């Protein structure tokens, strides 16, 4: 079923769609890296090594994994974005961009960290239900649910403050040393992708909220 596309500046809409696509794609590839079939992950690393050898690039542990991660993530991003473009006038796509994108952008980095922590620490008795990180994510998602349901009116600066505190917390969890020096591979870039996707979503939502007022005034 087709519906009228919300009147949002094309640049804002495209930016939001691309960042949403990248956020989803990178989360899927991160999940593949963390818990996917070893044969698939090994094939991606062999592809990276072959590309580096073909381009005569130095193979170092510092950069190992980035091509293996971002090449499939870029291809998947393109596929998702093309799908959004093809079905841009449907209600499902509009709802994905309005609601699902918000939840995904706020949750993806946290879910990746929690999965990585669980895989690495479960043998030592680590339980995500006893971790403060799980409850921080839950609280933020409750705030988002209330905001989208219009049951918690909050000024734009309040939204930015909550988002800033949320991502500051997760940047701290991933570790500033890892983020600055790329120690730990491409997964440490998840909070950067998540923050960018969230800001694109906020800009999109702000434009949607302003459009009815503009129409009412004309």
Q: What residue has token string 């590309």? A: 51
214, pLDDT greater than 50: no
Which residues fall within 8 angstroms of residue 13, CB to CB, at 6 or more apart?
A: 97, 204
pTM comes to: 0.84
DSSP secondary structure code for residue 217 in this structure: H
Neighbour count for residue 46 (Cβ, 10 Å): 11
pLDDT for 55 equals: 83
Please tell me the distance from the alpha carbon of residue 103 to that of residue 100, in angstroms, as a whole number: 5
Q: What residue has token string 């503009």? A: 214
pLDDT, tens digit, 9 for 90 and up, residues 152-190: 777 778 888 999 999 999 998 887 645 444 445 677 788
Instruction: Tell me which residue of 168, 166, 179 sits closest to 139, measured CA to CA.
Output: 166
Q: How confident is residue 122, by pLDDT bands cut at 50, 70 and 90? A: confident
């Amino acid at each position: 079923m087709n519906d009228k596309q919300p009147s949002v500046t094309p640049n804002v809409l495209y930016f939001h769609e691309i960042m949403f696509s990248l956020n989803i794609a990178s989360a899927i590839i991160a999940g593949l890296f963390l818990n996917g079939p070893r044969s698939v992950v090994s094939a991606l690393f062999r592809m990276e090594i072959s590309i580096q050898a073909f381009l005569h690039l130095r193979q170092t542990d510092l950069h190992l994994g980035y091509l293996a991660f971002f090449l499939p993530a870029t291809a998947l991003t393109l596929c998702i974005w093309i799908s959004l473009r093809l079905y841009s006038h449907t209600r499902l796509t509009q709802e994905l961009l309005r609601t699902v994108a918000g939840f995904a952008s706020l949750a993806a980095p946290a879910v990746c960290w929690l999965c990585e922590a669980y895989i690495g620490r479960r043998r030592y008795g680590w339980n995500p239900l006893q971790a403060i990180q799980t409850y921080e994510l839950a609280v933020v998602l409750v705030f988002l649910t209330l905001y989208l349901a219009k049951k918690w009116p909050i000024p734009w600066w309040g939204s930015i403050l909550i988002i800033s505190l949320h991502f500051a917390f997760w940047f701290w969890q991933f570790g500033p040393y890892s983020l600055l020096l790329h120690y730990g591979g491409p997964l440490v870039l998840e909070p950067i992708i998540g923050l960018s996707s969230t800001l694109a979503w906020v800009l999109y939502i702000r434009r949607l909220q302003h459009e009815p007022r503009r129409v009412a005034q004309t």
